[in-house]
Structure 1
């Protein structure tokens, strides 16, 4: 039992820590102000990075003394009050706002952008367990926004932070009495758009989407939203990945094998995070431990949880036999067109669904597994698999809920409008007198081949999912026919002699 003197020492220690943290947060705000208003001398990225690293180490040292598991408590918003009561009374909100402001100030840095970005990312990961609900909901998009602000050399680090440290504890959070998605989950479309637009590496797009597919049941709604309303770069990648990952809704409609290249060849494996890993730099992470004390002990600079290779997980488990280690879901090695159940007895083995649960993935080497319709029904029914995250073929437009149907229709319209003639200009748009006096011919950001491909995607979605019936709303049918005639009019010039 603590005596009065011990309690006084703790309170004095917390008070001193609070004053020091507040002073350093103020220095971050000052650095941001100098950068944004170009006040000389401008702070160096390395100097700001050193200050930010102080916060990371402070947060990890505080976390090590917390008795309960903050990561487990993060999953349910009902635990937020109790979770925040575990920590010393520091100004976590001001730190979050300061880091957010510094991300915006990145373009003004003249030197040290790389260490600056690395320190910011590390600190955001360490800060997550200390945040209140509104900042937790905003954190995923802030990290995704870093793709637009930080150097390309940090893009992979950003994707790893999102996939392994941020998204698993934010978009799946439960809010009592709230049936709708959390704000973090609702921001998924914006996160996808940000990464797809500002990262040119298709492997990053695959990594993000597979991560989201493992956690969010109807992420296809967000993909359709990006195709419908996104920027050209995001729309192009989202359309390709929709046809790449989701089981084809009509296998006879198009030759999928000849259509798509392999996206995930360049995926960078996520490595073991243990400081003293005997195979450091080469051993891929295969297990995860959610105990924050274990994480801080064996990975002193990384935020929890702790990702480990098999060898390190076994070694730590021998020292701490009561700790639990969970399998990590590995990326898809290839996207199969047929059922991957080794015991499949169906006559129609065409892929119908893809399951991302650990239970089903364990039958496929901890990779997501594709099932035919019969195997899907056997694995996911009223008796088993009800909590699995499964993605099936897209339903017909008239069977979708109103939001998804709207996104699909707008996506089709968006795709068909991308088409342009190849061999000659559309006469409707080439008349000289219609051009303004001062016009600048900017290069087309999308290649002609990609434009044609986007148009074909739109046609396939329309033909496969939008066959009209007597109950089809006239306004939807009219819009689809209108854009189809536009697409036909434009593309007809591509094949004239």
Structure 2
């Protein structure tokens, strides 16, 4: 354990050194590849520590009540300093000119691996921290950022229960997360994927959308307003031509593929099941953070080897959104509120 702790501390020092050299322009400037290799060390270390845990940290992370018990499962390493070091690197990552994509990929992976090791306040900040990376990482990583948010970060943060039963900060920050992604990603498919994930996790997410419409930047407001009337049908179909909105969001979402290392259809098989057992996850996907997302074929194969494991269905993209409200008890008496919101939409839509 002493050797592991010493190596961990030494690598932390390297991260701080990268930050200082980038911040002050000290030669030699570290490349993204050098930084990525160091960050990958932490990902592998965290996964190896997690594999030794017999309890279920992914279940314990759902409630603040179990935070003390969950943190006691791990060796006494400075996880908070690792979080702070990664946060600092995000602040200066725009100064990296070589290997930025490699570093960005390693950074996202490490953030997801670090999640089970974080205390309450740092966990609450994970959604916004991950989303904020979209402002500095290259466009080719935008899909990865949205995937990490939807599959590894948001499901374990915004649904967490506080001890006092109040809404946690992660949930309160969702409007900022939406605003960040909508502003820096120009791909409507990313916007749809994020919003569909949030609709499954957070009741009343429409309030966050309205917040973005009211206070967001122009690109974020335009996208939020269009999505508002894409997913929430209007009472007055003649108020505007909704087909134009449908066309803008007709892009197919990029499928999230099976994460198993030995998947026979690697890179092509869409994930349809998820296993929350961290040991199963690390066994079959050695470099991926838990949980483990699997195609149907791989899930069935692993289930035959481990019949006691549970494999849950995952949310797939909505294939079609109705043009009108399908609630049979829908009353026109509520139309006044909708017309007010639609007026906001029309103003933003025309501006865009």
TM-score by length of 1: 0.67
Specify whether residues 152 and 259 from structure 1 end up closer, same or farther in structure 2 by C-alpha distance, changes over 3 A only.
Answer: closer
Specify whether residues 328 and 413 from structure 1 end up closer, same or farther in structure 2 by C-alpha distance, changes over 3 A only.
Answer: closer
* Pairwise CA distance, 1:262: 4.7
Contact 1:140 1:167 in 2 (8 A): yes
How is 1:30-45 mapped onto 2 (pairs within 5 angstroms)?
A: 30-45=17-32
Structure with greater Cα Rg: 1
Contact 1:244 1:335 in 2 (8 A): yes
**Residue in structure 1 matched with residue 237 of structure 2 by the alignment:** 251
C-alpha offsets along residues 83-132 of structure 1, whole Å, 9 cap, x if unaligned? 00000011000000100111111111121101111110110010000000
1:304 aligned to 290, 295, 315, which one? 290
Matches of 1:259 and 1:48 in 2, distance apart? Answer: 42
Contact 1:227 1:415 in 2 (8 A): no
Contact 2:230 2:245 in 1 (8 A): no
**Which blocks of at least 5 consecutive residues in structure 2 are unaligned?**
none
Higher relative contact order (CA 8 A, sep 6+): 2
**Residue in structure 1 matched with residue 350 of structure 2 by the alignment:** 451
Contact 2:125 2:170 in 1 (8 A): yes
Matches of 1:247 and 1:184 in 2, distance apart? Answer: 28
1:140 counterpart = 2:127: yes
Matches of 1:66 and 1:249 in 2, distance apart? Answer: 53
**Residue in structure 2 matched with residue 131 of structure 1 by the alignment:** 118
Specify whether residues 334 and 18 from structure 1 end up closer, same or farther in structure 2 by C-alpha distance, changes over 3 A only.
Answer: same
* Pairwise CA distance, 1:177: 1.8
Contact 2:32 2:98 in 1 (8 A): yes
C-alpha offsets along residues 282-332 of structure 1, whole Å, 9 cap, x if unaligned? 100000000000000000000000000000000000000000000011001
* Pairwise CA distance, 1:227: 0.6
* Pairwise CA distance, 1:412: 5.7
Specify whether residues 65 and 395 from structure 1 end up closer, same or farther in structure 2 by C-alpha distance, changes over 3 A only.
Answer: farther
Contact 1:248 1:393 in 2 (8 A): no
1:25 aligned to 12, 36, 44, which one? 12
Matched positions, count: 351
**Which blocks of at least 5 consecutive residues in structure 1 are unaligned?**
1-12, 338-349, 353-371, 377-391, 400-407, 419-449, 455-497
Specify whether residues 260 and 351 from structure 1 end up closer, same or farther in structure 2 by C-alpha distance, changes over 3 A only.
Answer: same
Aligned-residue Cα RMSD (Å) equals 2.2
1:121 aligned to 100, 105, 108, which one? 108
- Higher helix fraction: Structure 1 or Structure 2? 2
Contact 1:247 1:393 in 2 (8 A): no
TM-score by length of 2: 0.94
Q: What is the DSSP-based 3-state SS (H/G/I as helix, E as strand, rest coil) of the residue aligned with 2:293?
A: strand
Matches of 1:329 and 1:275 in 2, distance apart? Answer: 22
**Residue in structure 2 matched with residue 373 of structure 1 by the alignment:** 328
Matches of 1:394 and 1:142 in 2, distance apart? Answer: 42
2:325 aligned to 351, 354, 379, which one? 351
Matches of 2:136 and 2:69 in 1, distance apart? Answer: 35
